[in-house]
Amino acid sequence: MISTLEKEITFRFLKARKKDGFLNIISIFSFIGISLGVAVLIIVMSVMNGFRSELINKIVGFNSHITVKPYENPIDKNLINKSVKKISKDLILSNSGEAIIIKSEITKGILIRGYEIDDFSKLEIFNNNRFISDNKTLSKNHISIGKELSFTLDLEVGDNITIMSSVGVETIIGNLPRQKTFYVSSIFESGVLDFDNNVVFINLETLEEFLNLNKTDRILEIYLNNPQNIENQKLIVQNNFPNKFVYTWSDMNKSLFSALKVERNVMFIILSLIIIVAAFNIISGLTILVKNKTRDIAILKSIGVLNKSIVKIFFLIGFLIGTTATIFGIILGVTFSIYVENLRQFLSSVFNISLFPEEIYFLSTMPSEINLSSIFLISLCSIFVTIIVSIFPALKAAKLDPIKTLKYE
């Protein structure tokens, strides 16, 4: 416990005096350094968390959360158990293949996905305000294309487009490429340039007929209620389909998210050095304070103040500087994290530069997600470093000999 005397002396030593000018400068720089270190860490972690969440939302917006692919036997939706249905929002059968799209003198390779008429409207990508067309069904010979592809080929809803299959047709003059004309019934926008420019959707039966695919090759797309907690839910699906190949959106983007995780951890370690460097100023400040307060320490000891009380006093000084700096840094960091997009827009307009360009990061705004566990970890690290650096000067103050000190005063 901390006594009233120890508290009074601690706050008395913290008060600024004219003769302690240099000491006050060191204390101020320690406070500012720790505050900025904590604030920068919170801002960077919030942006990294926001970027990861936005990226996940983009990926799960146009890809199934869990995909089940048959090896030999086809997938029977009637054999899906209750545990899978409980975690699933939608269960959709689909198929896919590659083809070439032709428009005037432009040819382009594309990936075609096929869905049944009723399942097409269940996809999240077609239930946002960026979807062009009131028709959310995929009738035969209808096609839905991405916004970027519509720009590339100069297409609008109502136009016709020719697609050439990779499967040929046998004729009397040999094998000729199979071609089919489709009616552009809708245009979607996923927010990811590559997807919008390379993927199209058509009716499932039309796809299988056009690319000569078998119904037994159809895959099962599972859309979950909570796509974030993916690993546990993958195990549930694997138990239902032990003889099928099961993979998730996380498996398909493992290298990307591993890189993001490594980058976030490295940024945390590097930026933590700011706090450590600033905390070492506390050692300097407390050491100078001990030197300046040598006479006071000797008087305190001579009137019966114990060594452990001296340790507590100087330890509390360093601890209070570090803790208040951490709290101020948290307030500063959270505030900046909330208004980081407004700050980006302001800097972009003032300096006429493009910060966080959409064509590189696939996002139109600077993402930010404040994570309470990250803030708690950063605060804990900051206060822990402060505690460590405050111990040495406090012990040094307690070791002063009052007789020798007062002899030369």
Asked if residue 191 has pLDDT above 80, the reply is no
SS3 assignment, position 112: strand
| Contact indicator for 406, 302 with CB cutoff of 8 Å | yes
pLDDT band (50, 70, 90) for residue 360: low
Asked if residue 91 has pLDDT above 60, the reply is yes
Q: How far apart are the first and last CA of the chain?
A: 33
Asked if residue 134 has pLDDT above 80, the reply is no
Q: What is the mean pLDDT of residues 387-394?
A: 78
pTM of the model: 0.68
Give the list of residues 6+ apart from residue 52 with CB closer than 8 angstroms, or none: 257, 260, 264, 369
What pLDDT does residue 170 have?
62
Question: Which residue has tokens 């590097």?
Answer: 270
Asked if residue 169 has pLDDT above 70, the reply is no
Measured from the Cβ of residue 8, the count of other Cβ atoms closer than 10 Å reads: 11
What pLDDT does residue 210 have?
86
User: Tens digits of per-residue pLDDT, 11-28?
Assistant: 666 665 555 555 567 677
How far is the C-alpha of 203 from the C-alpha of 112, rounded, in Å? Answer: 10
Asked if residue 356 has pLDDT above 70, the reply is no
Give the list of residues 6+ apart from residue 100 with CB closer than 8 angstroms, or none: 107, 108, 109, 110, 163, 164, 166
Q: In 344-380, which positions are buried (b, 16+ CB within 10 angstroms) versus exposed (e)?
A: eeeeeeeeeeeebeeeeebbeebbbbbbeebbeebbe
Q: What is the mean pLDDT of residues 55-79?
A: 78
What pLDDT does residue 141 have?
84
Asked if residue 195 has pLDDT above 60, the reply is yes
| Contact indicator for 275, 386 with CB cutoff of 8 Å | no
Distances (CA, A) of 389 to 26, 104, 293: 14, 72, 19
Q: What is the mean pLDDT of residues 289-318?
A: 73
Angle value at C-alpha 32, between 28 and 35, nearest 5 degrees: 140
What pLDDT does residue 107 have?
83
Residues in the chain: 409
How far is the C-alpha of 165 from the C-alpha of 160, rounded, in Å? Answer: 16
What pLDDT does residue 357 have?
60
CA 73 to chain centre: 39
Q: Which of 66-70, 138-142, 251-255 has the lowest mean pLDDT?
A: 251-255
Q: What is the mean pLDDT of residues 292-301?
A: 69
Q: What is the mean pLDDT of residues 324-330?
A: 88
Q: What is the mean pLDDT of residues 152-170?
A: 82
Q: What is the mean pLDDT of residues 320-339?
A: 87
Distances (CA, A) of 294 to 186, 312, 390, 395, 396: 81, 16, 17, 13, 11
What pLDDT does residue 331 have?
92
The DSSP annotation for 387-407 comes to: HHHHHHHHHHHHT--HHHHHH
List the one residue out of 285, 358, 305 whose CA is nearest residue 31.
Answer: 285
| Contact indicator for 365, 58 with CB cutoff of 8 Å | no
What pLDDT does residue 354 have?
67
24 burial (CB, 10 Å; 0-12 / 13-18 / 19+) is middle
Asked if residue 38 has pLDDT above 70, the reply is yes
Beta bridge partners of 69: 245
